[in-house]
A = this chain, B = another copy of it.
């Protein structure tokens, strides 16, 4: 029996991934750009064991449901193909944050699984290969492989679609204050949402404009220009939600408190605070700010009706092995 344990952080996208050119290989419609979140993580142990007659999956100590099991087992099939190993595996994964709150646990889970499974199978993949592998489990997982600020080059095929770091975690002390508004499970998950992206007549314009937005966001990060960063991050989030709400069927991820937080953030920004919002496929709002503004922002967020709690993260490292 061979085993390995890995840890990975989820990430928040500043330029969003929405829609696939190839939904099986998860080649995205457009490039995206994100930051790993240091305070949140998935910790995943993989043990290939010749005694097992099928793959086993435990999430936070519980036997996983059929959908999650099939997705992981399918992913392990790919690792077995790459490594030539035949054994079934036991996968034990823990998140230090609740699943289904709108913080993408699939990104950190599949990034950690990629490293743990490949290492347990005897493979020693470089960062690019690991990112490609993680991408096959969950698109945005490829961005949780490299460290800090990360760009996913969309590519046209499996070889060329992977993420790489554009700046290390200590390059810029951005704070991500996640206003948790609902912990209920989403009605339409991201996987299904990606499939609906092309049903919006706005998606094509969004995708064609993506290189411009990536350029602006990359430059703002490299120059630590918060004003420019805030403009493009809010615009990109609004643009993705514009696509969502005009897809067929229409997708609305916002709740009343989502709007309340967006409005509060806009007011703080107008009054001179370095702060902006970005929203994934869920009702929670990620409020990005600088270290010096974070205590005030967190306190003010807690006073908005409908905000249940605030999770805070700084830029995080990439996926790594830990002692199991």
List residues of A whose CB falls within 8 A of some B CB: 201-202, 204-205, 209, 234-235, 238-239, 241-243, 245-246, 248, 250, 252, 254-260, 262-263, 266, 306
User: Nearest Cβ distance between residue A248 and chain B, in whole angstroms?
Assistant: 8
A250 in contact with B263 given A205-B205, A209-B201 (CB within 8 Å)? no
User: Nearest Cβ distance between residue A264 and chain B, in whole angstroms?
Assistant: 11
Q: How far is the CA of A162 from the CA of B158 in the complex (A)?
A: 55
- Please, could you name 18 A-B residue pairs with CB atoms under 8 Å apart, sorted by A? A202-B205, A204-B205, A205-B205, A234-B250, A239-B246, A241-B245, A242-B242, A242-B246, A252-B263, A252-B266, A254-B259, A255-B259, A255-B263, A256-B256, A256-B260, A256-B306, A258-B259, A259-B259
User: Nearest Cβ distance between residue A279 and chain B, in whole angstroms?
Assistant: 11
Q: How far is the CA of A126 from the CA of B201 in the complex (A)?
A: 39
Besides A201-B205, A242-B242, A242-B245, 18 new A-B residue pairs in contact (Cβ under 8 A), listed by A number? A202-B202, A202-B205, A202-B242, A204-B205, A205-B205, A238-B245, A238-B246, A238-B250, A241-B242, A242-B243, A252-B263, A252-B266, A255-B259, A255-B263, A256-B257, A256-B259, A256-B260, A259-B259
A209's nearest neighbour on chain B, judged by CB, is: B201
Q: How far is the CA of A257 from the CA of B258 in the complex (A)?
A: 11
A235 near B250 (CB under 8 angstroms)? yes
A235 in contact with B246 given A201-B209, A259-B254, A260-B256 (CB within 8 Å)? yes
A245's nearest neighbour on chain B, judged by CB, is: B238
User: Nearest Cβ distance between residue A33 and chain B, in whole angstroms?
Assistant: 18
Closest 5 CB pairs of A and B: A242-B242, A256-B256, A238-B245, A256-B260, A256-B259
Q: How far is the CA of A306 from the CA of B256 in the complex (A)?
A: 10
Q: How far is the CA of A205 from the CA of B207 in the complex (A)?
A: 13
User: Nearest Cβ distance between residue A249 and chain B, in whole angstroms?
Assistant: 9
User: Nearest Cβ distance between residue A297 and chain B, in whole angstroms?
Assistant: 19
Q: How far is the CA of A306 from the CA of B259 in the complex (A)?
A: 13
- Inside 8 A of A204's CB, which chain B residues have their CB? 205
- Inside 8 A of A262's CB, which chain B residues have their CB? 252
- Inside 8 A of A239's CB, which chain B residues have their CB? 202, 246
- Inside 8 A of A245's CB, which chain B residues have their CB? 238, 241-242
User: Nearest Cβ distance between residue A16 and chain B, in whole angstroms?
Assistant: 13
